[in-house]
Structures are given as structure tokens and as C-alpha cells.
Amino acid sequence: MFKTEVYINRRTNLKNKLNKGIALIMGNVEASMNYPHNTYHFRQDSTFLYFFGLDYPGLAAVIDFESGEEILFGDDFTVDDIIWMGPQPKLADNAQKAGINKTFPFARLQEVVKKAQEQGRPVHFTPPYRGKNMMTMGNTLGVHPGKVKEMASVEFIKACIELRSTKELCELEEMERHMGTAYNMHTTAMKLAHPGRTEQEITGIIEGISMSGGGIVSFPVICSVRGETLHNHYHGNTLKQGDLLLVDAGSESPLHYATDHTRTSPVGGRFTSQQKDIYQIVVDTNNAALAATKPGITYKECHMIAARTIACGLKELGLMKGDVDEAVAEGAHALFMPHGLGHMIGLDVHDMEDYDQKLVGYDDEVQPSSQFGLNALRMGRRLHPNFVVTNEPGIYFIPALIDKFRSENKFTDFINYEKVEKYKGFGGIRLEDDVLVTETGSRILGERIPINPEDVEKMVLSGTK
Amino acid sequence: MFKTEVYINRRTNLKNKLNKGIALIMGNVEASMNYPHNTYHFRQDSTFLYFFGLDYPGLAAVIDFESGEEILFGDDFTVDDIIWMGPQPKLADNAQKAGINKTFPFARLQEVVKKAQEQGRPVHFTPPYRGKNMMTMGNTLGVHPGKVKEMASVEFIKACIELRSTKELCELEEMERHMGTAYNMHTTAMKLAHPGRTEQEITGIIEGISMSGGGIVSFPVICSVRGETLHNHYHGNTLKQGDLLLVDAGSESPLHYATDHTRTSPVGGRFTSQQKDIYQIVVDTNNAALAATKPGITYKECHMIAARTIACGLKELGLMKGDVDEAVAEGAHALFMPHGLGHMIGLDVHDMEDYDQKLVGYDDEVQPSSQFGLNALRMGRRLHPNFVVTNEPGIYFIPALIDKFRSENKFTDFINYEKVEKYKGFGGIRLEDDVLVTETGSRILGERIPINPEDVEKMVLSGTK
Ligand SMILES: [Mn+2]
Ligand SMILES: [Mn+2]
């Protein structure tokens, strides 16, 4: 964990934002896979990590915004536990590391929360996303587990978002330190992009690199020759010459900060000229969005710059037509890029997505859109120094979407469907970096993973045939 | 999945065992990691896999033991889903693959179950172990989620145990096919057992091999130079010359059958003579237990044979003393091996542990013991052909346990504490294979991972320095 002061300071900042009631901050418990004691890799709740840093299951905390009191709830290990699990830190010692002096057995959580409820004071918490926490919180709050989520505190959520959006120096250092693991994952995948290899094999190898580097993957790996399927977690294909291998993968640092990068490689090492044309538009779009990313601009504006770059490029290739500004305003480009330019990243790969995506990515000034494509933009609001966002434009040829738009006669002024039909089977290309907003502009975190087509080809060719 | 007939046949066998009420068999949903849509690797429920084979989230099934009717509950994907997720199988097509003709939307599950309840018919199910299934089942059954577990059906559980204990030929083929991945994981770990490597690094590499081989690890990897800590999931150590590296790791096959092996390697490639003495006792114990494993014997008897071999060996080294049979009967050897000889293995690494370990491993004939050590034996009952069990004896020097026994003056007739004290810091050795009970005896599944001390040394020395 970071130094104790980091956590004390965060909680002080939180207390400066709320002045009524208590916060109930639930840590996670182990997640059972196929029976109670066979568990997935433990992942602490991000809000709990942010304010307390303690990476153990079975904890919860209460912060009293009126008295300022902080209590850590948990249970010490028994001698029998220690025989099986080895020496374990004491709850009180853990509390000290987080800068908390008061500890209670976990069983007393209900009593403390009930007291606040009886006094008519608000109990603030973020929405639970795991069933077991819903059940524990239901018991604690005296409501049905299914009702807990809707009782989450918007005021508390907004305070957490304000704090977590701006990354501290120690957080940026942790993120940057872990970028080497991301680099290894992606360059290794490039080197393995040869005919005969399987998606499953490459997925395993890059998951292993993540774990060797100190943490689990930050989200389920996408490693597919069918890159046009945006949420593709099928890994059953064998790579063939001429395929494009899209790898969207990230790793958690030892302190659980996420990386998130996408690269798209030509299987065998050489782009076809058709592939290179589309690829170059995506590189240009990524670079244009990066150049636009700076304090003061909204990320929605950056998204629109990306959209415009894509539309221009596709018009040059004859896949789009008509007035580019009009096409982009109406959302015609979303046939090719139906998702947003990016999202905030930090303790979560989609940072704070458990809170409420609209509160994280939008505010009174920048409101979410309902237009297809733009409605998938997770981050629209104005950028500030030390925000970290992903920059991930892409171009895809999605047969089901092409058929849908065409059958609905959508955007016939802007889309050259005859030509688009010929690209069915092309697949998809996405190129994603993690970008820090600096005082004056922005920069990519870590050494940039090869992105120019010739560098990617060189990396693939340097690998195992 | 296996052929459709396999699943039809299993359900027919189940229907022959129960004749009243309905079975409610819940599939798993995705397990959220740090926000709702960021999920762990999907793992279907094993009971659902056994009877239906369908490896998708969001399914449930009802079997009516009176009418014989079978219904699969789930929801088809929308066109929008398909745009993001690619072409998806239809629920009705999936049902066909499992040999089921009737499908209902998931929302109708409650109605079907309620009807059975209103008719006063029993609703059989196995105990849920995930919070979200507890909540769904609570809603379905009209009870509080926290109450569902205690309503599980012992009659249904016993029928499932009877079916799943005896592995079918197709299951054994699937298990044996995947043993190559287990072999690669363990021999790779051996080759990496050199000073300067870290536990974390090796853990990552073997997790990656599991995934590349087709499935997630079957349980959290134990990879530790502190092998005496039995439940050790800390991977923070760097290997040093003279350490023993204990690796207990398994992989899930593509159809989710588990492997589970342990090997213990000398870091740098040479056992010290003290290490070799203890190691040889564990090899001998593993071999003695394997030789004893055959139809007709109870696994408790095999455990006692292992215990006796350990006590004999430790007596020869002067760590134990007195009458060996008495020592074993009283459980003195459990200071060194506080766990059981093994457990059943199949769709779960501890097969069917979600049901109730006592019902899986014991019966009217062989009852669980309360003696320390023997009380940790998961499998005690009589062996039958096509049972698959693990054989995993070990010897550990656990400082906290030595101190506890000594301070309680336990087993002073059988333990030479003066000498045992000198072994504090030694660590622990465990050697585990997966063993099939055949018609006449038993055999190890897959090629045996190197186990003789000279073969292990050779494997380590063949690896990267
Ligand atoms: Mn991303
Ligand atoms: Mn085992």
C-alpha cells in the first residue's frame, strides 16, 4: 500500500465534502468459483482500496462525518487459522497502516450502522455489485438485499468521483511503473501473431505475463481474429495468414491500478494494402485525439475530432461520401466506430464504473447523448490535469450492423454501402493507449507500444513463426 | 460438451433415483470483480455442467421427477447484443444440444417453481455458494436469500454424489487428455526453481500455461518456499539456494474437469541430505498409498497406510519414537501431516465440495473422525472402480503447530521434540498425483510428473539458471 498519510489525507478530503451522517465502506469478501472455499483471485473493492489501502477480505469501515470518527471492522485470525495460513497481520496493525485507531469485530458493524439510522442520520454508501455484499449490507441496513443498490448515496458517490478523478503523484507513479508489464503483454502477443497459433494459447501467455508482473488481468482479455466483435471473449480460433489479430488487454499493478491497451497485428507480419489503408486511418485518429487531449477541452470534443478523422479517411477510401461534418453530426461514422473514444482509468479499468457511468463521465455541463455511437462514450466531460483517460479509436466492419443500417436505409447520403459490402470479413482494428492529461497537454503513460504499421510488422516478424 | 446422449443418460439415471417433486438446477451468472460488467472468468456450476453441459451464464433448469418433463430457462440475445458480441447460439439450439425440447424465458422460472410448491411437491436443489444465486433462488422460492442454503435437499445431493462419484469413460478421457497441461505446468515450475526467481513470476507462468491449455486454474495456485503453510497464497518471496519450492497447482480442462498435482523441488537443483531424507519418506508414502488404492479398500485405510509410512520413516530419522502403530492410532504423525491423504476429483478439484463434504467422502459405513489430522481427511469411504482420487501425502514442520503441541505436552511418547525443533525452518514437502481406481487396482492419470528425487533434480537443472 501507499504511505499511511496518503489514506489519511484522502479521508480528510472526503470529510471536507460531506458533513452529515456516516459512510459505510464495504470491503469485498472472497468470490466463490464452484464451491465456497474455491475462490477466484481476491480483488478488494476499489473504494475501500482508495480510502484504506488494505488488501484483505472480510473488512468494512465506517466514517462518521459529524464526529470525524473512523472505525475498521474485521476479525483477527485464530491460532488454528495461523497453523494453516501462516503468520497473519493483526487487525489493529492493519488499521494502523491505514491510519485508523479504532477497530471492532465485524459483527458489530450492524450495531454501529443501526445507531446512526435510529438517530435519523444518513448512511452513505456506493452501490454494491457482488451478491454477498448485497446480502451483508441488506442485513446491516435492515432491508432486503435486492433493495440495497437503489439506496446508494449520490452525494457520497459524487464526492468519491471528484477525489478519484484527479490522480495523485503516487498513483501516477504506480501506474507508470506497471506500464512495462503492459508493454510485455502486447509485444509478446505481436510476436506470437503467426499462422497456426491459437487465440487461446496467446491469451494464456499474456495472462501469465500479467500475473508474473504482479497482478491479475484488469479485465477479461480480448484476443481475437474477429476484432469486429467488440465484446469478444471467444478464444477458439486458430490464426491464419491474412487475419488481423486484435488484442485488447490490461494488467493490474500490485496496488490494483489498471492498464488498458489495444493493438491490432497482421498475422504473419505483413499488412495487406487494404488492411494498411484502414490501419493508417486508425493510427491517424489515435494521434489526432492524443494531440487534442489537454486541460480545458471536453473529452466529447476529442471524441468528435476522432470521429471526423475516421470519416475523412473513409471518405478518401470511398467507403463514406458527402459532407464530412454533416455525416459526423448525424453519427454516420458510428457504423464503423460504434463505441466511444475512451474512459477514465485508475483503480478500475473503467474507473469508478460501479458508481454510475453517467456521474463519472458527465456532469451538468456535458450531458450524455442518445445518438447511436455517441451514447457509448463513457467519458464526455471537461479534462483537468492528472486525469487519466484511454484513447481507443477503432474501425470495424460488423456484418450484423451493416445489414441493420442498410435495411433501415440509414445514412444513405454518407455511406457507400456497395463498397462497404466488400469489406465484410475484414474484421476490426482498434488502437488504444493510456493518456495522462498534463498541465499543458497530454502524454502517453509508459513507453509507447509499437503502433506505426511498419513497427508493428517488424515486431511480428521478430517473433516465433 | 460431450454428446447429447451423455446428458440425457445422466438425467435418466437421476430420475431413476428420485420420484417426487422437481429439481431446480441453477446455472451460474457472471461473477463481478470490481464493478458489475468487469467479471472473472465465467465458471458454470458443476451440477449444471454435469446434467446439461451448457457452458453459458444465465441459465437454469427444472426436472420434474413425476412427469419426467425437463425445461431449460434462459433468454435469447437481442440484435443489439449480437452487434456487440457476435453471432450467438439460440436458447432452443442450446437446449437441443443438451437433449431438452422445452425452453422458457428465465422470468418464468419463479412461476414453474411456485406451481410445484403450491401443489405441496418438494423442490430439490443443491446448496448455492454464490451470493447472486442465493438472491435469485430466494426470489424464486419466496424466501430470504440467507435461508436458501439450509433448504437444500439431502436426497437430491445424495443422488448427485452417487452419479458423479463414478466417472464415465468420456469423463476419464477428458481428464486424461488434459494431464499434459498439468505436466507442463509442473515441469516448467521445476525448471524455474532457481535462485533469484520469484514465486509471483513462476505463479504467473504456470497460470498462463493452464489458460493456454484451455482453461483457468482449477484452484488458487500454491507456489511457495514456505510449503509448511498449507493454505499459502502469498507469492512475495524470491527463491534462494537451499529453499524447497512447493507447487500445488491444477488446471481445468476445456470441459472443466480439474487436475491437481503437487511437487516439491530443491531450488538450484540439489536436495541437501536432510531434505532428501524427508523427501524420500514422502515419495515412499505416496507410492505405498498408490499401491494400496484399489476397489474394496476404504480411502481411510489408505490414509492410515500413508500415516504409518510417515511415522516409520520419521522414527528412523529419530524425529518420532515409540510404538508406530500406537503413534498412528493416537494421531501423533499429524504433527507432520495434519491433512488428509486426498479427495475425490472431477468437475471440481475437491469434487462436489459444494454439496457437503461429509456426504461426499463418508457414508453409513465410514464415518468422519474428530481426531486432529484425520478430521481433515475429505475422502474416507470405500473405493469403487472409476473413482478418481488425489494421493497427496506430505511432511511439514509448522512452527506454530510444533509450539502448540509441545506446550500442551502432546504425544511426548511419540515425538522427539528436541530433534523436531532443529527442523523449524525446513519448510514442507508434499507430493500429489491424480489416481484412477481401476477394476483391479489403480493407476496414475497421465504421464507421471517426475517424482523421484534424482529425476526432480535433473528437471530443475535442465531449466533456466
Ligand atoms: Mn479501454
Ligand atoms: Mn489436492
CA atoms of A241 and B173, how far apart (whole Å): 33
- The whole-angstrom distance between B437's CA and the closest CA on chain A is 25
Whether pLDDT at B86 is above 90: no
CA atoms of A11 and A71, how far apart (whole Å): 12
Q: So what's the pLDDT on residue A233?
A: 80
Whether pLDDT at B79 is above 90: no
Of A201, A210, A213, the CB nearest to B212: A201
% pLDDT > 90, chain B: 95
Average pLDDT score over residue span B303-329: 98
Contact B131 A134 (CB under 8 A): yes
CA atoms of A24 and B131, how far apart (whole Å): 20
CA atoms of A387 and A81, how far apart (whole Å): 42
CB-based contact B59:B65 (threshold 8 Å): no
User: Which fold, B169-461?
Assistant: Creatine Amidinohydrolase (3.90.230)
B212 contacts in chain A (CB < 8 Å)? 200-205, 208
Nearest CA in chain A to B336: A83
Average pLDDT score over residue span A299-307: 98
CB-based contact B225:B239 (threshold 8 Å): yes
pLDDT digits (tens, 9 = 90+) for A181-229: 999 999 999 999 999 999 999 999 999 999 999 999 999 999 999 999 9
> Nearest-CA neighbor of A347 among A256, A263, A270?
A256
Q: Which of A49, A77, A80, A83 to mutate to test the interface with B (most CBs of B within 10 A)?
A: A83
pLDDT digits (tens, 9 = 90+) for A284-299: 999 999 999 999 999 9
pLDDT digits (tens, 9 = 90+) for A128-154: 999 999 999 999 999 999 999 999 999
Distance A10 CA to ligand 1 centre (A): 26
Q: Give A163-166 contacts, CB < 8 A, sequence gap 24+.
A: A163/A10, A163/A13, A163/A14, A163/A17, A163/A50, A164/A50, A164/A346, A164/A347, A164/A351, A164/A352, A165/A344, A165/A351, A165/A360, A165/A384, A165/A387, A166/A384, A166/A385, A166/A386, A166/A387
Name the 3-class secondary structure at A79: helix
Whether pLDDT at A465 is above 80: no
Whether pLDDT at A159 is above 70: yes
- Answer whether A259 touches B (CB < 8 Å): no
- The whole-angstrom distance between A441's CA and the closest CA on chain B is 30
> Nearest-CA neighbor of A394 among A452, A343, A451, A336?
A336
Annotated domain spans of chain A: 4-165, 169-461
B237 contacts in chain A (CB < 8 Å)? none
Average pLDDT score over residue span B423-444: 97
Average pLDDT score over residue span B142-159: 97
Of the listed ranges A48-57, B84-93, B142-151, the least confidently predicted one is: B84-93
Q: Going along B121-201, which residue ranges are E strands?
A: 123-124
- Position B447 confidence tier, pLDDT thresholds 50, 70, 90: very high
Q: So what's the pLDDT on residue A140?
A: 98
- Answer whether A219 touches B (CB < 8 Å): yes
CA atoms of B147 and B149, how far apart (whole Å): 6
β-strand B244-249 against A222-224: which pairing, if any?
Answer: unpaired
Contact A234 B134 (CB under 8 A): no
Q: Which of A29, A35, A41 to mutate to test the interface with B (most CBs of B within 10 A)?
A: A35
Of A34, A40, A82, the CB nearest to B400: A82
Of A34, A210, A232, the CB nearest to B204: A210
Nearest CA in chain B to A400: B83
Whether pLDDT at B436 is above 90: yes
- The whole-angstrom distance between A209's CA and the closest CA on chain B is 6
Q: Which of B1, B30, B33, B164 to mutate to test the interface with A (most CBs of A within 10 A)?
A: B33
Residue with cell 528436541: B418
- Position A82 confidence tier, pLDDT thresholds 50, 70, 90: confident
A73 contact partners, CB below 8 Å, separation of at least 6: A59, A60, A61, A62, A103, A104, A105, A106, A108, A109, A112
Q: So what's the pLDDT on residue B162?
A: 98
Count CA within 13 A, CB hemisphere, residue A47: 29
Of the listed ranges A441-450, B231-240, B450-459, the least confidently predicted one is: B231-240
- The whole-angstrom distance between B439's CA and the closest CA on chain A is 30
Of the listed ranges A75-79, A324-328, B351-355, B389-393, the least confidently predicted one is: A75-79
Average pLDDT score over residue span B67-95: 91
Q: Which of A33, A339, A401, A404 to mutate to test the interface with B (most CBs of B within 10 A)?
A: A33
Q: So what's the pLDDT on residue B84?
A: 84
Q: So what's the pLDDT on residue A79?
A: 78
CA A140 to the chain's CA centroid: 30
A4-165 homologous superfamily: Creatinase/prolidase N-terminal domain (3.40.350.10)
Distance B261 CA to ligand 2 centre (A): 7
- Answer whether A354 touches B (CB < 8 Å): yes
Q: So what's the pLDDT on residue A84?
A: 85
Of A43, A135, A220, the CB nearest to B134: A135
- Answer whether B38 touches A (CB < 8 Å): yes
Distance A42 CA to ligand 2 centre (A): 20
Neighbour order of strands in the sheet with A222-224: A222-224, A244-249, A261-266
Give me B398's grid cell: 509448522
Q: So what's the pLDDT on residue B81?
A: 84
Distance A190 CA to ligand 1 centre (A): 19
**Chain B from 286 to 345: CB within 8 A of any A CB:** 338
* Cβ neighbours of B294 (radius 10 Å): 16
Whether pLDDT at A174 is above 80: yes
Q: So what's the pLDDT on residue A285?
A: 98
CA atoms of A215 and A254, how far apart (whole Å): 6
Q: So what's the pLDDT on residue B233?
A: 80
Name the 3-class secondary structure at B64: strand
CA atoms of A72 and A104, how far apart (whole Å): 6
CA B463 to the chain's CA centroid: 29
Of A46, A83, A202, the CB nearest to B398: A83
B400 contacts in chain A (CB < 8 Å)? 79, 82-83, 87
- Answer whether B210 touches A (CB < 8 Å): yes
- The whole-angstrom distance between B440's CA and the closest CA on chain A is 32
CA atoms of B81 and B183, how far apart (whole Å): 39
Contact B35 A133 (CB under 8 A): no
Give me A440's grid cell: 499543458
B131 contacts in chain A (CB < 8 Å)? 130-135, 145
A148 contact partners, CB below 8 Å, separation of at least 6: A127, A128, A134, A137, A138, A141
Whether pLDDT at B317 is above 70: yes
A79 contacts in chain B (CB < 8 Å)? 400, 404
Q: What are the helix (H) ranges across B322-381? A: 324-330, 357-361
Of A87, A146, A200, the CB nearest to B214: A200
Helix axes B179-191, B453-461, angle to 10 degrees: 70
Distance A357 CA to ligand 1 centre (A): 14
Q: So what's the pLDDT on residue B99?
A: 98
pLDDT digits (tens, 9 = 90+) for B273-296: 999 999 999 999 999 999 999 999
Contact B34 A43 (CB under 8 A): yes
Contact A35 B353 (CB under 8 A): yes
User: Mean pLDDT score of chain A, rounded to an integer?
Assistant: 97
CA atoms of B393 and A392, how far apart (whole Å): 52
Contact B234 A86 (CB under 8 A): yes
Contact B232 A36 (CB under 8 A): no
pLDDT digits (tens, 9 = 90+) for B341-381: 999 999 999 999 999 999 999 999 999 999 999 999 999 99
pLDDT digits (tens, 9 = 90+) for B113-137: 999 999 999 999 999 999 999 999 9
Nearest CA in chain B to A203: B212
Average pLDDT score over residue span A314-323: 98
Contact A210 B232 (CB under 8 A): no
Whether pLDDT at B465 is above 80: no
- Answer whether B1 touches A (CB < 8 Å): no
> Nearest-CA neighbor of A59 among A48, A70, A47?
A48
Of B32, B211, B213, the CB nearest to A130: B32
% pLDDT > 70, chain B: 100
- Answer whether B209 touches A (CB < 8 Å): yes
Whether pLDDT at B174 is above 80: yes
B214 contacts in chain A (CB < 8 Å)? 200
- Answer whether B134 touches A (CB < 8 Å): yes
- The whole-angstrom distance between A389's CA and the closest CA on chain B is 18
- The whole-angstrom distance between A439's CA and the closest CA on chain B is 30
Q: So what's the pLDDT on residue A83?
A: 78
pLDDT digits (tens, 9 = 90+) for A384-397: 999 999 999 999 99
